[in-house]
C-alpha cells in the first residue's frame, strides 16, 4: 500500500506487474544468474485457459453444454437485465454464482474482461492473443 499508485500504472514502458517483474530482473547485474528467463519474465500475462491447458477448458465448455439446455439459454433470467451471458459456459457460471451468492450482492460484481479486448468468453479462448495457441493457426485476428 506504500507504493505510489503511479508506479503501478500500465504504460508503454511498464507492462502489468512491472514492479514485481523488475524485482526478478537480473539483466543489469553482471554475473548474476537469472531467476527466470526474460521470455518468461517479460511475457504478456495469460488467461486461465493458458495456465491449465486448452483440453481442460474444452471439458468445461462441454460440461456447461450438458447443464444448460437450449431452452434455458434462449430464455435467460429476467433478473439478469441486459447482462446476459453469450455462451452456455457463461450462463452456467452465472447460474452457479446466483445460487451461491445473494441477489443484492450480484449488483456489486462487475464482469472482468481484458482492457485490450471486447470479448466475453469466460475462458479467454476468443481473445486474439490466444487464438493461435488454441486453434493451432497463426491467424491472430479476433473472432
Q: What is the pLDDT of residues 54-113, one digit of tens each?
A: 677 788 889 999 999 999 999 998 888 888 888 899 899 888 888 887 665 555 555 555
**CA 76 – CA 95 distance, rounded (Å):** 10
Would you place residue 142 in the very low, low, confident or very high pLDDT band (cuts 50, 70, 90)? Answer: very low
Q: Which three cell numbers stand for residue 130?
A: 490466444
Provide the sign of the torsion angle of the four alpha carbons 31, 36, 39, 45, taken in this order.
Answer: negative
Q: Taking the model in full, what pTM does it have? A: 0.53
- Three cell numbers, residue 115: 482492457
pLDDT band at 131 (very low <50, low <70, confident <90, very high): low
Give the residue with greater pLDDT, 55 vs 129. Answer: 55
Amino acid at each position: 500500500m506504500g507504493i505510489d499508485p503511479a508506479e503501478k500504472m500500465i504504460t508503454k514502458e511498464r507492462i502489468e506487474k512491472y514492479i514485481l517483474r523488475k524485482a526478478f530482473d537480473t539483466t543489469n547485474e553482471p554475473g548474476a544468474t537469472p531467476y527466470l528467463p526474460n521470455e518468461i519474465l517479460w511475457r504478456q500475462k495469460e488467461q486461465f485457459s493458458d495456465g491449465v491447458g486448452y483440453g481442460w477448458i474444452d471439458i468445461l465448455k462441454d460440461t456447461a453444454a450438458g447443464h444448460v439446455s437450449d431452452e434455458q439459454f434462449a430464455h435467460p433470467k429476467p433478473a439478469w437485465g441486459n447482462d446476459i451471458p453469450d455462451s452456455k459456459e457463461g450462463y452456467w457460471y452465472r447460474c452457479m454464482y446466483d445460487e451461491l451468492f445473494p441477489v443484492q450482492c450480484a449488483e456489486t460484481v462487475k464482469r472482468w474482461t481484458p482492457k485490450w479486448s471486447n470479448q466475453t468468453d469466460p475462458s479467454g479462448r476468443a481473445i486474439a492473443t490466444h487464438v493461435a495457441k488454441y486453434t493451432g493457426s497463426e491467424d491472430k485476428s479476433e473472432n
